[in-house]
Chains A and B, each alone.
Chain A
Amino acid sequence: MPATRKDIIRQLQKDILLWQGVTPPAAAAVPVGLGPVEEAFPHGVFPVAAVHELLSEAVEEAAATSGFVAGLLSPLMQRGGACIWISAARQLFPPALKAFGVEPERIIFIDLAREKDVLWAMEEALQCEGLAAVIGEVPEISFTASRRLQLAVEQSRVTGFVLRHQPRDLNANACTARWRIRPAPSQPEPGMPGLGFPRWQVELLKVRNGKPGSWLLEWSAGRFQPVVEKTDEQPQVQVKKTG
């Protein structure tokens, strides 16, 4: 019986996770609306009390990463918590967040002169219970620093995002997941001029106890939408162009 076999395997996986110290998420878990991407995480739930690491090389990738994080913030901020954005050289333009369902006035920006202070401020902010999320823009993070952040979020259950723009060395650290977000060509509605909804190639490079993968996501109608296989779409586009 394949159904029972599937159940047995699922049960075994759950047991393994339990032995590894990964507790099943609380019933009141926040769905962040990542769709298929969430399946990559243990128990199929986006880990909220965790530190996520997002890599970017070019400025355009950094912009895409900011947009992706903003998309994640809107469900996280549903419960009324504020959000803190810490950086040493901020270029984020607050009005843009409105398009991702985030109220820009509920984000507090901490603009620091030195990158060294960013991690200190992040740790201090992550210890504050009830915040929706803490975002820190810092290129380098050591194992010890990431461990400190991890310990802070385990206590407070705040979500932390470390935006690493042009990191020098990708050492192992204690972050739960490592992402890379790249902009992808948008697809306007058939027959419409201009640009379509923002699309990103979302890569999950490392996940603790999960399965890394790569997905194409689109931000439309106020939530993440998975884009059907690229190969399927390619001929469609050509059809439209010729037609």
Chain B
Amino acid sequence: MAQRFVTIWLYQLVTDWLTIRRPDLQHQPFVLTAPDRGRMVITAASTTAQAQGICAGMVLADARAIMPALQVFNDRPGLEEELLRALAKWCIRYTPFAAIDPPAGLILDASGCAHLWGGEGPYLEAIITRLQAFGYQVRAAMAGTIGAAWAVSRFGGRHCIINSGKEQEALLPLPPAALRLEPGIVERLQKLGLGRVSSFIAMPRSALRRRFGQELLLRLDQALGREEETIQPLEPVLPFQERLPCLEPILTATGIEIALKRLLEALCHRLRQEGKGLRSAVLKAFRVDGQVAQITIGTNSASHNVDHLFRLFGHKIATIEPALGIELFLLEAPKVEALSTQQETLWTGGCGLESARLSELMDRLANRLGPDCIHRYLPQEHYWPERSVRPAAALHEKHAAAWRSDVLRPVRLLPVPERITVAAPIPDYPPMLFRYRNQVHQVRRADGPERIEREWWLEAGPHRDYYVVEDEAGRRYWIFRSGHYDGSQPHWFLHGFFA
């Protein structure tokens, strides 16, 4: 397939943007300025101001001398690129490959896209009309190479379409600056009287290289399609992506659901054929007013089950605000993994940790309640109670160590041990009674002590002597004494409750 590129030149980008935001500035002379070496230098001038001879690069004081009524606004560094990025994002409705081309330019890779608009003429027309309707002044061109399209959009006639193979003819009458050359090379060419591309294009390449360097030849080759040129798309194009343009703007949740279902069916069909499943998916809704609303889901294990994925999106659909309507839906799967066939065979069996149904349930919970809420614990080879378990990383993770069954552990463990006061007869005997939260418990039976040393290679501190005690009502507690009896009274803590 022949490559086709569209370049768009928004030659009054910043001033147009300001006029859109403030319609009262239409037909008013105004400039944007930025400080430069202690002076205010004009970075952009409105069309009306330009008619008076004010242009970018002038010092503000000079411009004020020409036109005292000039309105001045501050320019923000990076504003132009920000605007370009937003416009390029908007252009994704015309092609998945949209790139920015500062200053004030956009490049779209339109290969294989134009037929959806009924040909290249209507395609280019649609882009230009929509941009102009926003209030931007644009010049655009379409050609088989980026270089030729760029040259024609800047220096050629209005809204040209250059057929593939005719680039050279289109370039001939244009000035050398149309080839995206460095100002120094353009100046040298002008000095030698080479004012048009036609005047040097037929010269021997060795002579051109010697006089003007490799760059001129490279740019010439790029414009003529002899040299490959790539663009950096604004958003990387994903292999698993489905788009659904709508004839009429969609406004209702039911409409969104139908669109989502269709996209999911198409995407899952492709995934199934390739034996893959998605781990995350994004639904983007391009609105008529240029905004993009999006909802995201994630799954615990790769899935291509339409119903399940639809349910995950289900309660997020309400968060899409259609405003004036949605004209394009885009479903992307940024994270795709190979799917084990085992998953489908377990579909109808019991619901162990490996079953697909459980992982679907986890997906639903994680999507609604946040992924941090799901925990599973595996044993860890530490004696210190707080460190004896660790959260498992995945549903399928197996434990390397075994659970200890030789020691009793409380059913409820306090996250932080609570201080208690005790009456203990002699060292290393369990207490006779203890006071916890203002209630005195008489100890009837006790077990222990179980000494647990603090692991010195991890942290310093006293050891703990744990006792299992039962009070007069049969309530069972896990209490410990921190440290030795060495003159000072040791502290006692309650750490858990036994069943």
Write the residues of chain A forming the contact surface with B, with a CB cutoff of 8 angstroms.
58-60, 62-64, 66-68, 70, 79-82, 84, 91-100, 103-113, 117, 120-121, 124-125, 128-132, 182-186, 188, 193-196, 198-200, 219
Contact = CB atoms under 8 A, between A and B. Distances in A.
Contacts of A199: 474
B231 interface: no
Contacts of A99: 405, 408-409
B258 interface: no
Contact of B358 (A82, A100, A121, A184): A82
Interface of B: 349-353, 355, 357-358, 360-362, 364-365, 368-369, 373-379, 385, 388-389, 392, 395, 399, 403-405, 408-415, 444-447, 468, 470, 472-477, 496-499
A79 B350 CA distance: 8
Label chain A's interface by main secondary structure.
mixed
Given A82-B351, A112-B369, A195 B412 contact: no
B373 A110 contact: yes
A106 B355 CA distance: 12
Contact of B375 (A62, A81, A93, A111): A111
A132 B352 CA distance: 9
Contact of B476 (A62, A107, A198): A198
Nearest to B403: A98
A113 B368 CA distance: 12
A89 B415 CA distance: 11
B412 A66 contact: yes
Given A60-B476, A112-B373, A124-B364, A188 B445 contact: yes
A81 B377 CA distance: 17
Contacts of A98: 403-405, 409
B413 A110 contact: no
A130 B357 contact: yes
B433 to A, nearest CB: 16
A109 B372 CA distance: 11
B403 A104 contact: yes
Given A67-B411, A124-B364, A195-B445, A82 B374 contact: no
A195 B389 contact: no
A70 B412 CA distance: 12
A29 B444 CA distance: 41
Given A63-B498, A105-B379, A183-B474, 5 more contacts: A60-B476, A63-B476, A66-B411, A84-B361, A109-B377
A84 B362 CA distance: 10
A93 B351 contact: no
Label chain B's interface by main secondary structure.
mixed
A81 B399 CA distance: 18
Of A81, A103, A185, chain B has the most CB atoms within 10 Å of the CB of A185
Contacts of B499: 63-64, 66-68, 70, 96, 100, 183, 198, 200, 219
A112 B369 CA distance: 8
Nearest to B389: A94
A185 B444 contact: yes
B299 to A, nearest CB: 15
Contacts of A131: 351, 358
Contacts of A195: 445-447, 468, 470, 476
A185 B375 contact: no
Contacts of A194: 445-447, 468
A59 B249 CA distance: 58
Contact of A93 (B413, B445, B447): B413
Contacts of B445: 185-186, 188, 194-196
A104 B415 CA distance: 18
Contacts of A107: 376
A232 B468 CA distance: 27
Of B409, B474, B477, chain A has the most CB atoms within 10 Å of the CB of B474
B377 A128 contact: no
Given A99-B405, A107-B376, A109-B376, A63 B351 contact: no
A135 B55 CA distance: 73
Contacts of B475: 58, 60, 183
A125 B358 CA distance: 9
15 contacts: A66-B411, A68-B499, A70-B499, A79-B350, A81-B350, A95-B389, A98-B409, A99-B408, A105-B376, A108-B395, A109-B377, A112-B369, A128-B358, A183-B474, A186-B476
Nearest to A200: B499
B404 A63 contact: no
